[in-house]
Chains A and B, each alone.
Chain A
Amino acid sequence: EADIYQTPRYLVIGTGKKITLECSQTMGHDKMYWYQQDPGMELHLIHYSYGVNSTEKGDLSSESTVSRIRTEHFPLTLESARPSHTSQYLCASSDGPREKLFFGSGTQLSVL
């Protein structure tokens, strides 16, 4: 059972709002990731971190930002949400870049 938690599970907000999606893990993993997934499509990496104070952009261009101040916490922030940000956001962690990923349950974001 994965010990990685995402909140909120569902979020419906209006255009222009600032939002933060929370992700926490209790496994002590250094590596953490944010993926975006649309229905029937593959996961796309938007941000990753290899440890505290380390953050990098992924393959998919994203207007979001992340921070990694503590090992267990990897929040994602959208400064001004738009309808194009509507998607499912999945947080994951692992022991290393080639180890098994543990995923959270995801946040389904809808921007009206």
Chain B
Amino acid sequence: KNQVEQSPQSLIILEGKNCTLQCNYTVSPFSNLRWYKQDTGRGPVSLTIMTFSENTKSNGRYTATLDADTKQSSLHITASQLSDSASYICVVSDRGSTLGRLYFGRGTQLTVWP
């Protein structure tokens, strides 16, 4: 069964600290992996998209890694800011159909305290 599991479910850190969020998936055949940031009461916003051949991709203070062999990805946030408080969602796309079906994780709820 194709699944996307994220950990931890929630995380609290102090402003200025770094953190790493995890995503494990069983989706096959794999097409790409995406990280989205969702502020409370808003729609998700894309942070990164990585294909099979990409190991690392950065977007400002956000760095995503992908290990397609172990089917694991991480999102590292450097020097956290209060505005980083949000839910971070891992999404995996398959290539087994023309739809490119998306499998969503439940997200990690990050809270940054001053």
Contact = CB atoms under 8 A, between A and B. Distances in A.
Contacts of B42: 105-106
Interface residues on B, range: 20 to 34
A21 interface: no
B100 A97 contact: yes
A98 B95 contact: yes
A103 B95 contact: no
A92 B45 CA distance: 11
Interface string A35-72: 00000111111001000000000000000000000000
B99 A92 contact: no
A31 B36 CA distance: 19
Nearest to A90: B43
Given A40-B107, A108-B41, 9 more contacts: A2-B43, A6-B43, A48-B99, A98-B32, A98-B95, A101-B36, A101-B102, A103-B44, A105-B42
Interface of A: 2, 6, 40-45, 48, 90-92, 96-98, 100-106, 108
